[in-house]
A and B are shown apart, each in its own frame.
Chain A
Amino acid sequence: AQTVTQSQPEMSVQEAETVTLSCTYDTSESDYYLFWYKQPPSRQMILVIRQEAYKQQNATENRFSVNFQKAAKSFSLKISDSQLGDAAMYFCASKGYGGSQGNLIFGKGTKLSVKP
């Protein structure tokens, strides 16, 4: 069974600064995918970034990047030049390959506050 752990229930960052959100996971799958989703107060789940486990290169999307450490089963999200609109809940999720393993397994989330 897959598990995802986010050890930081809340984080705070100053506007324009950089913040890193932590995530660790456990899986017996050899092929899997990792995601970070953002949930603003509107409740909508928004995909921030995705990483395919077989790719060694860390994924980046504009101000968002990940530090993927496969051996350590670690998948942290770095937000650079933080903006007020980045304030939200952030969920780390893993997804296996095929059948029931194709479902997302979520961590409990990290609430990010951005101070002006």
Chain B
Amino acid sequence: NAGVTQTPKFQVLKTGQSMTLQCAQDMNHEYMSWYRQDPGMGLRLIHYSVGAGITDQGEVPNGYNVSRSTTEDFPLRLLSAAPSQTSVYFCASSRPAGYSYEQYFGPGTRLTVT
């Protein structure tokens, strides 16, 4: 049982490049989400999904795209990287939304955009 896995762990992009951050979970969780963590800002929600085929925007969705074709995977796409997207990105999963179940977090991806 690997829990929530994220790849890559580190990435450097040039402004304008695109890339996909991968996230997978093997706990059969319906609920998955992406957060970004900036210094002094805590974690902020980018996008989330309550099940395969269903996604919605969070607090800071601009510049990011998501899809959820399977229960296990929830990739985050940066369409055209900007320096403001330099951050640490966390993927999380939990049992269905609306319950008190904790969110399990992946190890994070540190992204630098130059």
Q: Do A and B bind each other?
A: yes
Residues of A in contact with B (beta carbons under 8 Å apart): 4, 9, 33, 35, 42-45, 47, 50, 52, 91, 95, 97-100, 102-109
Find out whether the CB atom of A108 lies under 8 angstroms from the CB atom of B102.
no
Find out whether the CB atom of B98 lies under 8 angstroms from the CB atom of A102.
yes
Find out whether the CB atom of A33 lies under 8 angstroms from the CB atom of B108.
no
Given the contacts A50-B100, A52-B100, A106-B42, A100 and B105 also touching, CB distance less than 8 Å: no
User: Size of chain B's interface in residues, with CB distance under 8 A?
Assistant: 26
Instruction: Collect the chain A residues with CB atoms within 8 Å of residue B40's CB.
Output: 9, 108
Q: B90 contacts the other chain (Cβ, under 8 Å)?
A: yes
Interface residues of B in 79-114 (CB under 8 A from A): 88, 90, 92, 97-100, 102-103, 105, 107-108, 110
Given the contacts A91-B43, A97-B98, A102 and B108 also touching, CB distance less than 8 Å: no
Point out the residue from A33, A44, A52, A109 that lies within 8 Å of B105, measured CB to CB.
Answer: A44
Given the contacts A43-B108, A100-B48, A107 and B98 also touching, CB distance less than 8 Å: no
Give the CA-CA distance A107 to B42 in the complex, in Å.
6
Instruction: Collect the chain B residues with CB atoms within 8 Å of residue A105's CB.
Output: 45
Instruction: Collect the chain B residues with CB atoms within 8 Å of residue A108's CB.
Output: 40-42
Give the CA-CA distance A97 to B44 in the complex, in Å.
18
Q: List 22 A-B contacts (CB under 8 A).
A: A4-B42, A9-B40, A33-B100, A35-B102, A42-B107, A43-B107, A43-B108, A43-B110, A44-B108, A45-B43, A45-B92, A45-B105, A47-B102, A50-B102, A52-B100, A95-B100, A99-B98, A103-B33, A103-B97, A106-B35, A107-B42, A109-B42
